[in-house]
Amino acid sequence: MNNTKKLLVSFVMLFSVLFLAVAVNAAAIGTISNVEVDGLNVNSNPAIVVGNSVNVRVDFNSLVNASDVTVEVKIEGNKKDVEAQTRNFDVETGKEYSRTLKLDVPFDLKDELSGTVDLTVEVSGDGFKTTSVYTLSVQRESFNANILSVSVPQNIKAGENFPVDIVIKNIGYNNLDDLFVTAKISVLGIERTAFFGDLVALECDKSLTSVENYGVDVARKCNEDNSDTLTGRIFLQAPYDAKSGSYALSVSTENEDTMSSKTTQIVIGNDFSSGTFLVSGSQLLVVNPTNEVVVYRLVPASTNGVSVSLSENLIAVPAGSSKAVTVNAVSSAAETQIYSVNVFSADGKLVEVVNFSTTTQGKSISSPVVVLTVILAIIFVILLVVLIVLIGKKPEKEEFGESYY
């Protein structure tokens, strides 16, 4: 019997110790005296707008001495939660502390136009914790068109018409009417604008009540043909003379109420741009694969021992064509001589330095064989340019449509 009593007493003592330990761990660290959101007391039902940042101030009185204390605030949404936490700090009994935290409220916090969310405030440290939960009103920004995605082909060639596929979603409070979308590559000087249409603020079902539609006017929102998301396609043409490399493609959408933009990188390849100036014997072939007339000024570079003259110094090359310039050089030396011709654009910028060589002493390097070679080369280049132009001008058609997200 005595053993039973001792066992019972031991069990009660152990239970009491565990209970006290749990009680200590669950003890409050203090009392939260004030919480403000952007300067408004949390009990006054402040409204926050998604897509913005809000400052949350927390004031509390400490009931204990504790180290490694933190203040954490958290907003719980339908689709995403956001939270912020202070650095660790120490508190002493009977003193009041204040901390301000910044929360970035995402656009996709909730699906509704407006509603409520829970704001949880927690002060904790050294096994102590105090938690309070408050209710906040949340609503969408008045007007906001979000560019969800911009897609282009991975391989784009100079001179090619390529599609830009764009997806736009209305994440604002109101409908968006008459949306225009512009796609451009500023450094290449290409731009195109297209009309994409209208977007409602929220898709809904006519069978639902106004309460189930988050209080939105059913007659205004429940047209089955309306969508809050759409897709569209714009075609751009990469210039024939675009250099190989990466370019910034900017896509923007706007109407009279809002504007938003998105930038992505695209890669354009041009295997032909480096072969614009070709050497064939004593001929300089200038190829213009672009769709505009180009003008060049040709200037022989001064070289010791070689006298250089050109059949033309100023040339205009039609679009999608080529032009041959005869380069006459006379050398007084028997060894191989290197000389060059500088090519300048119409605005005076050095475009290319074309190198030639000759080993003919005291004579021009021109010959009937060279001329024949040049003629054949010109024919080949012209055929190549025509082929490139025909491929580059393949007809494309813009497509616009809607998708439902």
Three-class HEC string of the chain: CHHHHHHHHHHHHHHHHHHHHHHHHCCCCEEEEEEEECCEEHHHCCEEECCCEEEEEEEEEECCCEEEEEEEEEEECCCCEEEEECCCEEECCCCEEEEEEEEECCHHHCCCCEEEEEEEEEEEECCEEEEEEEEEEEECCCCCEEEEEEECCCCEECCCEEEEEEEEEECCCCCEEEEEEEEEEHHHCEEEEEEEEEECCCCCCCCCCCCCCCCCCHHHHCCCCCCCEEEEEEEEECCCCCCCEEEEEEEEEECCCCEEEEEEEEEEECCCHHHCEEEECCEEEEEECCCCCEEEEEEECCECCEEEEECCCEEEECCCEEEEEEEEEEECCCCCEEEEEEEEECCCCEEEEEEEEECCECCECCCHHHHHHHHHHHHHHHHHHHHHHHHHCCCCCCCEECCCC
Right CATH for 273-391 from 3.30.56.10, 1.10.1240.10, 3.30.1490.20, 2.60.40.10: 2.60.40.10
In terms of pLDDT, which residue wins out, 392 or 115?
115
What integer pLDDT is reported at residue 395 of this predicted model? Answer: 47
Q: What are phi and psi of 378, to 5 degrees?
A: -65, -45
The 10s digit of each residue's pLDDT in 219-258 is 444 455 568 888 999 999 998 778 889 999 999 999 999 9
| The overall pTM is greater than 0.85 | no
The architecture of the domain spanning 21-139 is: Sandwich (2.60)
Q: Where are the domains of the chain?
A: 21-139, 145-270, 273-391
pLDDT tier at 390, thresholds 50, 70, 90 = low
Looking at mean pLDDT, say which of 5-14, 216-225, 237-246, 377-386 comes out highest.
Answer: 237-246
The 10s digit of each residue's pLDDT in 117-150 is 899 999 999 999 999 999 998 888 888 898 999 9
- Two domains, one topology: 145-270 and 273-391: yes
Average pLDDT of the residues of the chain: 79
> What is the CATH number that goes with domain 145-270?
2.60.40.10
pLDDT tier at 272, thresholds 50, 70, 90 = low
